[in-house]
Amino acid sequence: MSHYKITKYYYHYYVLVCLFFLSISAAIYIFKGNFSPTLTVKFVALVIASFFYVLLMLYFLNLKMNQEWVIPRQWRRVQMQPRLHVLVIFPLFIIPLLWLNLAGTLPMLWTYMVGQPQIVETSATAVKKRSRNADFYSFQTVYAGIPIFRITLNEYEAYKNYHLKLKLITRQSHFGTYILSIDEIQITTQNLTNK
């Protein structure tokens, strides 16, 4: 009976499996994570993601030069244009995926588990945003793009002409702010120009 041997020849499969799990955690952060990282965390995560990608590609190049790894037969386009894929196509997918996990998922989990509970007040306005398929509505705050700020059409119609003050229950750490809930919505002043 032959045993399956783990060799460097199959390392690209291991990378693909890791990227699959990183994709899932990034999707959870994008669609369910009510976390706003600090600007420093975003920048440092981008540097680390880029550096890690370069290290990974240099490692595979070293394996290829030592004939311990070859580009798989199924990757015909990569075999025909390896430089294009390594320098342009792969980084367009891998670096953002690493960045989302380093700037979002990991700091979000840390902040949720050990962050300090705080009540924060922030100003907001109700805005309408268009996508290709449909319109969606949200509160625009300093914590941009967080799913918890999505609102319905009826809520948008009720709040669209006003400046608002939101009271948020949060957890905060050095990495950013995780918003647990919107505790209170107060109308402060009318804003007739916001339509």
Number of domains in the chain: 2
Domain end among 114, 141, 169: 114
Assess whether 15 and 107 both reside in one domain: yes
Which tens digits make up the pLDDT trace of 159-179? 988 899 999 999 999 999 999
Contacts of 69 (CB under 8 A, 6+ apart): 8, 9, 11, 12, 60, 63
Assess whether 110 and 123 both reside in one domain: no
pTM for this entry: 0.82
Distance (Å, whole) CA 22 – CA 102:
10
Domain hosting residue 169, numbered range? 116-190
Contacts of 112 (CB under 8 A, 6+ apart): 35, 171, 178
Domain end among 62, 88, 114: 114
Query: H or E element: which one contains 141?
Result: none
The tokens describing 123, both together, are 């100003």
- The per-residue pLDDT of the chain, averaged, comes to 86
